[in-house]
Structure 1
């Protein structure tokens, strides 16, 4: 779950206002969360439940309300989400919930072995491309780390809208020695006792079906098990269903891949493509590039410089550069729009003049700001050969900022 601050939202003020629900030095409580967070003079909490990637805290608060004897700890890497979740905890006055700013790869510093009774992963980012796979919270090495933190009989519950991500995660769980307790293709009907998050409800309105599983640590995995999990296909495109979601909901982050595969299948059925064509599937490649750029617009609209930097560091545009661009944008504009008009071809441009000679497209995605200035954009070249050979867009000369400055740089 990602969010950006709306108009008149001052992050530092919000974090300070709800600081009583936020622990900024969590390592100080490692191994003693249940006792240290118990009400004054009260008995320690019976269990500690981690909500990893808690978003705005709607699941965290409701779960804490339903189980007052358990301490619920929400972790999220996005400061805006921590601020919203902390407000939700304070407004609901649940004494058994708190927030920690942090990442999934830092849990051993926060929790001692055997300290967690449960971990919940609510609609984590699936990172569909192969090179993004290390960032998935269900990667086998992450799951091995979680094992060491679990109390006997502890559970890990995953909820998602993506069958490919669920299938990948099941292979990783097997490799890390977790035993599946249950799986569900209709979580709301099968397990109504699990509170729904705000993000889950939003997806359901778009036609998504909540999928899920619950697992517990089994016998210690062998080296062969772990290696087998590392060697399964890492691109989620390998787990797409044969019907390519024809006539049904497409999981978030997978639409451009599904459309590309549909076009490839259609083209394969047609006789006689030109042997010297640089682009085999022009419509599919255009959609691929367009969706890749608009993914960045959506993240920019949520002020997610860190995630943008993770995506674009390969093209030389890391977190610090994205942070400077977004700070400059929001100093001039109240909002970055992501509606249907912002996604239209009025803001997306392809110059294919060098397609045949250099096998590149020159592309631009203009930011649709609320003031109507349209003065910021992404500009890049697309390596057509590398993009068509891989599972994602390969950029070069990638840059983001004020359009006049970008044009000057390109001269």
Structure 2
């Protein structure tokens, strides 16, 4: 994906600290203070332009959401959606996912969404895939015991790789669909990419995996 630079994006993000937390480190272990409640916290890594996370926050007001996106020129589109909808249970973070432990303590997060992540198809880039074992360890370090990952992609190779990676790490497969849009799954909220790819006839793959409670 070629990213169109928006030189004004950082300034706009800084103008809305009520939506994009400017110093997220201060909420590590106490995100309930930011949201003002003890609702479960779900995060999306690579939130893109925000269609999915905004839709989830609208549909589930009893759950707190954080959308994480490293590129200012992308997350500013999610910010526009949040400004328009003013959802009290949604915040955004303009940070890199590899630094998750700077912002979240063990048990802060109940569920992680990975939607249409970069497949990094070359073998030498395997460690960059968000379902690589080092990322699975990172997620475990911030999730509650028994926390979940919900994963969607249009890339068959990445999906197959991820299922193997999940299994080798010891995660428990809760749900799998090899053709989501032709399945009986209810309540699917699409991302911008998902709409585009499915309109072209691409198959959408989805799975849910869980960290076992007794994993050491």
> So what's the TM-score if we normalise by structure 2?
0.92
Hey, what does 1:155 align to over in structure 2? 148
CA contact (8 A) 1:48 1:116 kept: yes
Over the residues paired in the alignment, what is the CA RMSD in angstroms?
A: 1.8
- What is the SS of the residue equivalent to 2:130? coil
Cα deviation for residue 155 of structure 1 reads: 1.3
CA distance in 1 between partners of 2:163 and 2:185 (Å): 19
Which runs of structure 2 are paired with 1:1-400 in the superposition (5 Å)?
3-5=3-5, 10-38=8-36, 44-188=37-181, 189-218=183-212, 219-220=214-215
CA contact (8 A) 2:27 2:33 kept: no
CA distance in 1 between partners of 2:155 and 2:168 (Å): 20
Structure 1 unaligned residues grouped into runs of 5+: 39-43, 222-411
CA contact (8 A) 1:61 1:89 kept: yes
Greater displacement, 16-25 / 165-174 = 16-25
> So what's the TM-score if we normalise by structure 1?
0.50
Structure 2 unaligned residues grouped into runs of 5+: none
Between Structure 1 and Structure 2, how many residues are aligned? 214
String of CA shifts for 1:14-42, please: whole Å, max 9, x gaps. 3244442101211110011123322xxxx
Cα deviation for residue 214 of structure 1 reads: 0.2
Q: Does 1 or 2 have the higher relative contact order (CA < 8 Å, sep 6+)?
A: 2
- What is the SS of the residue equivalent to 1:152? strand
Cα deviation for residue 5 of structure 1 reads: 4.2
Cα deviation for residue 141 of structure 1 reads: 1.3
CA distance in 1 between partners of 2:77 and 2:48 (Å): 8
Q: Which runs of 4+ in 1 moved over 4 A?
A: none
Cα deviation for residue 164 of structure 1 reads: 1.1
